[in-house]
Structure formats: structure tokens, C-alpha cells
Amino acid sequence: MKNTITKIESFYVRVPLGRPLKLGAIEIPDRHYVIVRIYDEAGNVGTSYGLSRNAPVAEVVHNNIIPIWKGKSLDNHEELYNLTTKANVCLGTNGIFFRALSLFDCALYDLLAIREKQPLYKYLGGESKAIPTMLVGGYPTSNETEETLADEMELYATYNPAGVKIASTTDAFKDGERLRTCRKYLPMSIPLMIDCVWGQTDAKTYAVEVQKWEDLNMKWIEDPFLTDDYENIRYLSENTKIDIAVGDEQSGYLNMLRLMDQGKVNVLRLDATVCGGVRTFIKIAKAAYQRGIPVACHVFHQLHLHLACAVPGVDIIEYMLPESDIESYQRLWDNDLVLENGTFTPTENPGVGTAWNEEFIIRYKE
């Protein structure tokens, strides 16, 4: 089989949102994606996409990754990955470089599975199974009312998800009021989560409010503090009955070990498009499994579904319904998985199995 990498490309696609979002201090007027594609001699193409967070991720792929990989043999991908990491050690093991490397590695594994005519989970040695899904929504808006929040919760309940996650206002008292409203209209059998968008600084004060939520069937509190604030994360973890989940925008194997061992997180959030790619996702997830810490995936459900079927302990993936109008990625492809009884089952198409909407991508390409 022809196994030389002949072409690599990376570019941006900026897709409008139905309404601007606010995530703590982060303003999100649209979704800015990076797409990475890798071609081999036989004409196979591996593709990945992820959020740029308005950082120069595509430029890093062009300047720091393509020169090392173009024209090289796919047989040496493990060696080349390690070389790429070492050649860019001055950029650290976290941040923009690793986001670029992650997307490259995800595209690479898509290509490797396509070449073997296997779905990615099978290429990785996994088995097809239904993976529970949590639905994401509840982003605070200036015109939110109890009725609008109720409508959203009642919609999510019809899908019987493994949980519903809302976004924080960064005001703990207001968050408590909103969580109680959500619980009023969401069956008690469906757990609640809240993404606290790194908005807190004092675990002792925050724990007092969080303890008031313990009767709401909360599955977890996500990202209450900056990710390397191990002391506050550990204090909150040890002083509430609610699990603490951290990690979805972070990268690097050692960094994740510190989160688990020093931060004492109860749930490790992982995103293959950020943490170091498919191979590092697997390595981190195995370390979490050995520690008895469940892994919950961050968006990009098509990719993460395959990984959840290939690695033990990956318990849940998250999804944003098209009708919730808080995500745009559904417009990048022509096919999607079917959400059945709150679960997704992977496609049997080769690779990740995404059929890309090339016309749309060209239209919004930057």
C-alpha cells in the first residue's frame, strides 16, 4: 500500500451562530474551526476539526508540523509524533502548539483507519457499543426567564440523556437559582451538571454555596477554578458530595496526571482535539482508568464516540442539539449519528465516518 504523506493542509472555517454566546469572560459571536487534512499516495484523506479559540492554530500546523511530516512514511508515525514534540519543546507541553498537534494526530488516525477500511474504534481494537450522552445548553442570556429555561429542560428530557449540563453565570447564588429551576422541569432521574467556566477563586467560600446543591442530583461541577489551581480544586472535591470535573481544554499527559493526583478531580474531562490527539487521549484515559477516575468527553461526539468504544472508563460523551442553536458544527457535514434513548452508537464507515459538506466548508473558509 502506498504509504507516503503527500500533502497536508490546515485552514479556518468561521461559521455564524444563531445567537452570540457568553461563557464567563469569553464572548463567542461565532464558531471558529480549524480543519486539518492529510493525504497519502493512494488518494486517501484523513480529516479532523476543532475549535481554534481564535488562536493561530492553522499557522502552527503549517510552520511547526508540516515540515516534519510531509513526504514521510506513515509507518513511522509514532517516531514522527515524538520528534515533532521534541522539536517544539520550547513551546511547552500545553497551549496552542498542542492544540495544533492534537488536530494533526486526529486527522492522522482518521487516515490510518480509512487506509485499513475500518471504523476508527475497530482500528484501535475496540468494540461497537452504545455510549451514554449528556446534552449541553442553558447558556445564560439577558432575556432568560423561567419559561425559556423550562422549555429547554423539557426538550432535553425527551431525549432521555445521561445528564444535562448548563453554563454558569459565575455568580454562585444565581447559579443555584437556575439549577433549581432546571431541576423543577427536568426529571430527577436525569442528573444535572454545571460548567463554572473557571469563574471562582476561593474554594472555601464557594463550597458553602455548592453544598446547597447537593439535593439536586448533580452529576458534577465543571471547571470551577483555573485548571492548574490544584489546591482550590482539591479543597472543593474534598468538601462537597458533588463530583468535580476538570480538563476538557487542557493538554499534555503529565498535566493530566497532576490534575488527577494533585487536584483530586473526580471526573476527568478529555478532548482529543486538545489533549495531544488520539494517541495521547488513549494514554491519559488509561491512566485515569487505573486510578478509578471516569473520563467524560468534550463535544466532537463523532470522534469521541470511537474513542469511548476503544478505551475502558470513558463513560459519557457530550452533544449539543442542532435546535439548541449554540453550536454550528452540524453544518460542516452531511451526515450525523442518530441519538437513540440517550445514546450514540458509532458508524461502521471507515475512519471517523464523517461525510463532509464541502460546499459549505468552501463557502465559509477563511
What are the grid coordinates assigned to 185, written together?
422541569
Reported pTM = 0.95
Domain made up of 5-117+357-364: CATH architecture: 2-Layer Sandwich (3.30)
For the chain, domain boundaries: 5-117+357-364, 123-344
| Mean pLDDT, residues 22-48 | 90
> 97: pLDDT confidence band, cut at 50, 70 and 90?
very high
Closest-CA residue to 193 (of 141, 153, 238): 153
Structural class in CATH, domain 123-344: alpha beta
> 1: pLDDT confidence band, cut at 50, 70 and 90?
low
pLDDT of 226 above 70: yes
Closest-CA residue to 289 (of 274, 307, 303, 276): 307
Place of cell 445521561: 162
What does residue 277 show for φ and ψ, rounded to 5 degrees? 100, -175
Q: Report the C-alpha gap between 200 and 251 in whole angstroms.
A: 21
Q: Report the C-alpha gap between 243 and 266 in whole angstroms.
A: 5
pLDDT digits (tens, 9 = 90+) for 315-350: 999 999 988 777 788 889 988 899 999 999 999 999
Contact 270, 296 (CB under 8 A): yes
Q: Report the C-alpha gap between 171 and 189 in whole angstroms.
A: 26
Percent of the chain with pLDDT over 90: 89
